Amino acid sequence: MTFLELSDIHKTYEDAPLLCGVTFGVERGEIACLLGPSGSGKTTLLRIIAGLEMPERGTVSIEGADVTALPAHRRGVVLMFQDYALFPHRTVAQNIAFGLRMQRHSRAAIAARVAEMLALTGLEDFADRDVNLLSGGERQRVALARSLAPQPRLLLLDEPLGALDRNLRERLLEELPVILRRVGVTAITVTHDQEEAFALSDRVVLLNAGRVVQSGRPETLYDRPHDTWVARFLGLENLFPARIRHPQQVEVAFGVLDMADNADAPKPGAEGHLLIHPWGIHLEAGTVNAFTAQVTQRTFHGSRFRLTLAVDGGALHLDIPPGQTPPAPGETVHGWIEPTALRWLPA
Ligand code: ADP
Ligand code: MG
């Protein structure tokens, strides 16, 4: 049985449809991520799952039971807010104990659970600190410890790393899934950042304009986006209008390319787009899918150079490791493209 199931969820604000038939499921123990641009309805979906908002149509089921009309406090679901919403002028321990007090546990049980949560989140030395005096990263951990303390069966995290600076985000991006897996809680995180979604989750549910446009394992989504919108949103920029010549040959403005992948068995004459994964572009002489291009841009990103090449009909973007000397803007380069790096996106 699927642990959480959303079926055909509809929600409208001021006559504007916000969620238009959202359906997806999350398995027990899974970390899922709702990914979508700002305004795509992610926070509203979390609020509907938490019971803070009613959908106009559709159902939410947890462990096989319809909870659509069940009040929030009876769902066993905790929502960690985007701004953490900690209680000011209280200590870390008092914040973490809050949900446990609500559940009327004994003093000893609360103290034990708080200690466990402090250890889990690396906050052992912070128990008696005022939360107002903590850094952003420490506040984030307190919010996480407070959310996990009452042992929710489902934890919802709204942009959990959104308020943090870059270095801290990168570290918590690694720590957060480790903590969630250690407690084994089923979790749904929300973000507008595809790298964050990939790093955090077992499964990504991609939303656009109130609809699920694609869902699956992060690697699968990245490897096989359904359409150009998904590809662009995931940061895949090498997209060209294209026409199928033969099932394994596709025509774009800068040439006719061999394509090893024909999972969709497109028919000759079909029109759509071609996606070229940057990992398949090589700047050396080659005998298949050879091309000539001019370098238009080169930017240094520390762990890589990003190159932009002008070809007929568009631009090719690729990454070069910093150990190599990359060509400079203005230079003409020769390269080839691996047939396995091409993906056909039907119109
Ligand atoms: P996301 O989290 O993906 O950015 P939201 O779920 O916050 O998207 O909602 C997107 C839009 O829905 C908001 O920009 C707003 O216009 C509208 N909206 C959300 N909640 C309300 C509300 N309570 N009342 C009116 N409009 C709302
Ligand atoms: Mg939001």
Q: Please name which ligand lies nearest the alpha carbon of 17.
A: 1
Rounded mean pLDDT of 243-253?
A: 93
Residue having the nearest C-alpha atom to atom 21 of ligand 1: 13
Report the alpha-carbon distance of residue 197 to residue 295 in Å, rounded: 32
Q: Which residues contact 50 (CB under 8 A, 6 or more apart)?
A: 72, 75, 77, 78, 79, 156
Q: Give the domain ranges of the chain.
A: 4-228, 237-346
Rounded mean pLDDT of 47-69?
A: 97
Same CATH topology for 4-228 and 237-346: the answer is no
- Say which CATH topology domain 4-228 has: Rossmann fold (3.40.50)
Rounded mean pLDDT of 92-107?
A: 92
Q: Does residue 262 have a pLDDT over 70?
A: no
Closest ligand 1 atom to the C-alpha of 207? 3
Q: Does residue 11 have a pLDDT over 90?
A: yes
Pick from 333, 236, 241: which is nearest to 286 by CA? 333
Q: Does residue 65 have a pLDDT over 90?
A: yes
Q: Does residue 261 have a pLDDT over 80?
A: no
User: How far is ligand 2, taken at its centre, from the CA of residue 48, in Å?
Assistant: 13
pLDDT at 169: 87
pLDDT at 120: 93
**27-50 pLDDT tens trace:** 999 999 999 999 999 999 999 999
Closest ligand 1 atom to the C-alpha of 159? 2
pTM of the entire predicted model: 0.92
Residue having the nearest C-alpha atom to atom 18 of ligand 1: 13
The residue ranking higher by pLDDT, 214 or 89, is 214
Tokens read off for 129: 């600190």
Binding-site residues, ligand 1, Cβ < 6 A: 13, 18, 36, 38-44
Q: Does residue 59 have a pLDDT over 80?
A: yes
Domain 237-346 listed as CATH 2.40.50.140: yes
pLDDT at 325: 86
Closest ligand 1 atom to the C-alpha of 36? 3
Q: Does residue 343 have a pLDDT over 70?
A: yes
pLDDT at 263: 67
Report the alpha-carbon distance of residue 190 to residue 201 in Å, rounded: 10
Report the alpha-carbon distance of residue 147 to residue 183 in Å, rounded: 12
State what percent of residues in the chain have pLDDT above 70: 99
Q: Does residue 147 have a pLDDT over 90?
A: yes
